[in-house]
């Protein structure tokens, strides 16, 4: 079946360092790849997304890259700050039954130490 | 705009009890979803709705029922709760053609 694998499950960095989270997906029909940030006690919030016709997208300190041939995509956070500490989820999506079916990775717990 | 809200925030049930989780959105979204989040497993879709009066099964529907009597509300019911349903439940919504889903703050449910 469809699945998304996400690595690493935990990531610890020093403030100012970069953090990279990687995901691979199995459904070649997937065409939309969002990244969500979940802070403690809150619901997931979209931080960046990329569509299959684009290889890279950047928003300030956050960037996402997509390799459709290899079916993997990555989240890059530069100049990390303590407020970046959270659980990050990747997802892959395609249209199914009239809606965008999201398949989530298992999540990465990022800790940024001052 | 409050966005997506969920009631209650926390709940403890005994095995066999029933309860209903309420999701409300004020963004006039057509599509609504219920997910469960378990450690190490990400979010999995339980049921979804593409409009008022319609519902459909997701990836893990067993043991749950849903209703969408009003466009702004999506209810998730547990008729006879089991310990395996201990989880954090999230509701989400979006519009047709919109890729992004907007999530509520979650309900933490414990079944003893």
User: Residues near B97 by Cβ (< 8 Å), separated by ≥ 6?
Assistant: none
Instruction: Summarize the confidence of residues A50-73 as an average pLDDT.
Output: 93
Residues of A in contact with B50 (CB under 8 A): 97-99
Is pLDDT above 80 for B22?
yes
Q: How far apart are CA B46 and CA B59, in angstroms?
A: 6
The number of beta carbons lying within 10 Å of the beta carbon of residue B55 is 19
Predicted pLDDT of residue B45: 94
The SS3 call for residue B68 is coil
Q: Is pLDDT at B15 greater than 70 in this prediction?
A: yes
Could you report the per-residue pLDDT of B29-65, keeping only the tens digit for each? 999 999 999 988 889 999 999 999 999 999 999 999 9
Residue of chain B with shortest Cα separation from A105: B42
Contact B45, B35 (CB under 8 A): yes
What pLDDT was estimated at residue A13? 97
Contact residues, chain A, for B96 at CB < 8 Å: 98-99
DSSP string for A7-75 = E-SEEEEETTS-EEEEEEES-TT--EEEEEEE-TTS--EEEEEEETT-SEEEETTEEEEEETTTTEEEE
Q: What percent of chain B has pLDDT over 90?
A: 89
Determine contact, residues A65/A76, Cβ cutoff 8 Å: yes
Give A97's pLDDT tier (boundaries 50, 70, 90): low
Closest approach of A29 to chain B, Cα-based (Å): 15
Q: What is the pLDDT of residue A94?
A: 82
Of B4, B42, B50, the CB nearest to A89: B42
Return mean pLDDT, chain B.
94
Taking every pair of C-alpha atoms in chain B, what is the biggest distance, in angstroms?
41
In tens, the pLDDT along A10-53 reads 999 999 999 999 999 999 989 999 999 999 988 999 999 998 88
How far from chain centre, in Å, is Cα B107? 9
**Contact yes or no for A33/A50 (Cβ under 8 A):** yes
Q: What is the model's pLDDT at position A96?
A: 67
Q: Is the pLDDT of residue A98 over 80?
A: no
For chain A, which residues lie within 8 Å of any Cβ of chain B, measuring from their own Cβ?
Answer: 4, 6, 9, 32, 34, 36, 41-46, 49, 51, 89, 93, 97-102, 104-107
Measured between beta carbons, which residues in chain B are less than 8 angstroms from residue A8?
none
For residues A99 and A108, give the distance between their C-alpha atoms in angstroms, rounded to a whole number: 26
What pLDDT score was predicted for residue B41? Answer: 83
Indicate if the pLDDT at residue A84 is higher than 90: yes
Residue B41 is nearest to which of A44, A100, A106, comparing CB atoms?
Answer: A106
**Residue contact B4–A107, C-beta within 8 A:** no
């Amino acid at each position: 079946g469809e699945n998304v694998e996400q690595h690493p499950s935990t990531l610890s960095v020093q403030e100012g360092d970069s953090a990279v989270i990687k995901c691979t997906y199995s459904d070649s029909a997937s065409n939309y790849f969002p990244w969500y940030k979940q802070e403690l006690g809150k619901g997931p919030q979209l931080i960046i997304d990329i569509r299959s016709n684009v290889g890279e997208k950047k928003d300030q300190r956050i960037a996402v890259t997509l390799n459709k041939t290899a079916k993997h995509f990555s989240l890059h956070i530069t100049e990390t700050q303590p407020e970046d500490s959270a659980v990050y989820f990747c997802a892959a999506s395609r249209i199914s039954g009239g809606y965008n079916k999201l398949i989530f990775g298992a999540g990465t717990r990022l800790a940024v130490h001052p | 705009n409050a966005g997506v809200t969920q009631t209650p925030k926390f709940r403890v049930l005994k095995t066999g009890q029933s309860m209903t989780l309420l999701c409300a959105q004020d963004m006039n979204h057509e599509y609504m979803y219920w997910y469960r989040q378990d450690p190490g497993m990400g979010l999995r879709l339980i049921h979804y709705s593409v409009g008022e009066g319609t519902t459909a099964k997701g990836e893990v529907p067993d043991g749950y029922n849903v209703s969408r009597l009003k466009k702004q509300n999506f209810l998730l019911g547990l008729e006879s709760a089991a310990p395996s349903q201990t989880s954090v439940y999230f509701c989400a919504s979006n519009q047709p053609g919109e890729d992004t889903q907007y999530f509520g703050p979650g309900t933490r449910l414990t079944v003893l």
